[in-house]
Amino acid sequence: MSNPPDTAVERLSSADGSPRSLKMRELEQETGVGRETIRFYIREGLLPEPERPKRNVARYAQVHVDRLKTIKKLQQERFLPLNVIKTIMKAQDGETAGGIGGFIGLENALYPLLADPKNLEPRRLVDVAAEVGFPMEEIEELISVGLVKTDNRDGELWLNSRNARIVSLWRGIRDAGFIAENGYTTDVWRVYAEFLDWLVREEVATFYGNLSQRLGQTEAATMAAAGVQTMNEILPLMRTDRIVRAIADISERGELPQGVDGETSDD
């Protein structure tokens, strides 16, 4: 004898084999998701609209069961936010150009390729501040303009290894004399965060647009890691070279480039 049917599709089939529709109450029981959450997901586009044979009557199908279980899994096992889950849902529907769905979770494959194996553990912000002797209020200013990124864990701010190193290096910038008394307020540094936000958006959009239909996730992670590491060496060299050339140009001309006055404001 064969085992009794136990798949979701079989449970949702009527006696004649045709798909069986569910009422809201049955959908709640089948998935363990409450009706208010289900309605919210429908409004947000995470679930398709149910069939409505008459006014105030809604019938749900297998797709609703599958979607709800997928959402729960992505939330509980991958800790993905709803906006990312929505992208996955759209990719499954064929609504997202470029095959982005195949790259969802790419960051997980990148972590071990880009992380320093000797310093993988995140650290509490207060511990890093105390270690480097950097006043918390100054670090908070760096955070406010996007120069340092934090993660919230149970109400405490944590730094990954990269941002912990950034805080340490920023102490070096401060000690070198780049301080408010010399005109280097936190707002002066804001341009770096804004530029990097723009640059990274362009880099990531180009990467996904060019490769999401050409490479698998493992290949993409390997390629991305190599690109990031190599460009991390190229960019500082390019910047240093341009700074030296710009300073030499000012010395030769005896004036600042057009549109740059070099004056500070008391406002």
Query: What are the 10-residue block averages of pLDDT along the chain, 267 residues in total?
Result: 38 54 93 94 91 91 91 76 72 54 67 61 88 89 91 87 89 91 90 92 85 82 89 93 91 78 48
Q: What is the pLDDT of residue 231?
A: 92
Tell me the H-state helices in the chain. Answer: 8-11, 24-31, 35-43, 62-77, 82-92, 106-114, 125-132, 136-144, 161-175, 186-211, 217-253
* pTM of the complete model: 0.58
* Cβ–Cβ under 8 Å, residues 134 and 100: no
Q: What is the pLDDT of residue 116?
A: 61
Q: What is the pLDDT of residue 97?
A: 41
105-129 core/surface letters (b: 16 or more CB in 10 A; e: else): bbeebbeeeeeeeeeeebbebeebb
**Residues near 168 by Cβ (< 8 Å), separated by ≥ 6?**
128, 131, 132
**Residues near 139 by Cβ (< 8 Å), separated by ≥ 6?**
125, 129, 148, 167
> Distance (Å, rounded) from C-alpha 103 to C-alpha 120?
23
Q: Which residue has the tokens 């070279």?
A: 241
Q: What is the pLDDT of residue 94?
A: 54
Is domain 109-253 given the CATH code 1.10.3470 in the classification? Answer: no
* Cβ–Cβ under 8 Å, residues 166 and 196: no
Q: What is the pLDDT of residue 6?
A: 38
Residues of the chain within CATH 1.10.1660.10 domain(s) are 8-96
Residue 92: which of 109, 62, 70 has the closest Cα?
70
CATH code reported for the domain at 8-96: 1.10.1660.10
Burial zone of 150 (CB within 10 Å; 0-12 exposed, 13-18 middle, 19+ buried): middle
> Distance (Å, rounded) from C-alpha 188 to C-alpha 202?
23
